Amino acid sequence: MLTKGEHSIMLTIYPVILETLSELRVVLGRIERHDRDLGRQLRRASSSIALGVAEGMYSRGRNRAARYHTALGSARETMACLEVAVALGYIELADPVVMDRLERIVATLVRLVQRHA
């Protein structure tokens, strides 16, 4: 089960993840108009953050660490998709608020992965 501290972290970060996904909707549409594959990858990676965290909250032992590690990789992949979209000219700039939230999500997941390693 989650310790009290972990439960607080997860309760704090999970709504942030969902809010970030919601804010990606507009940019996701713009990216998909230019590159359907990159748009799909962004959609899968960003969804995987929430799904991995949700799985991790109710996993135990090494499975928990593995789920958080997967969610961490998905968060970084989401950031990379946005960076690639900027580099390819599909969007002018990745929303700084979204990127800051993704950084916060990454930092939280790094702490959780390290705690369970």
Question: For residue 116, what pLDDT is reported?
Answer: 74
Burial environment of residue 112 by CB neighbours within 10 A (0 to 12, 13 to 18, 19 or more):
buried
Q: What's the 3-state SS for the chain? A: CCCHHHHHHHHHHHHHHHHHHHHHHHHHHHHHHHCHHHHHHHHHHHHHHHHHHHHHHCCCHHHHHHHHHHHHHHHHHHHHHHHHHHHCCCCCCCCHHHHHHHHHHHHHHHHHHHHHC
Question: For residue 2, what pLDDT is reported?
Answer: 53
CATH number attached to the domain at 4-116: 1.20.1440.60
Residue 73 phi/psi, 5-degree rounding, is -60, -40
Return the amino acid letter for 102: L
Question: For residue 10, what pLDDT is reported?
Answer: 57
Mean pLDDT, consecutive 10-residue segments, the chain of 117 residues?
Answer: 54 91 96 98 98 89 90 98 98 96 96 84
Q: Which residues contact 44 (CB under 8 A, 6 or more apart)?
A: none
Return the amino acid letter for 20: T
Delimit the domains of the chain by residue range. 4-116
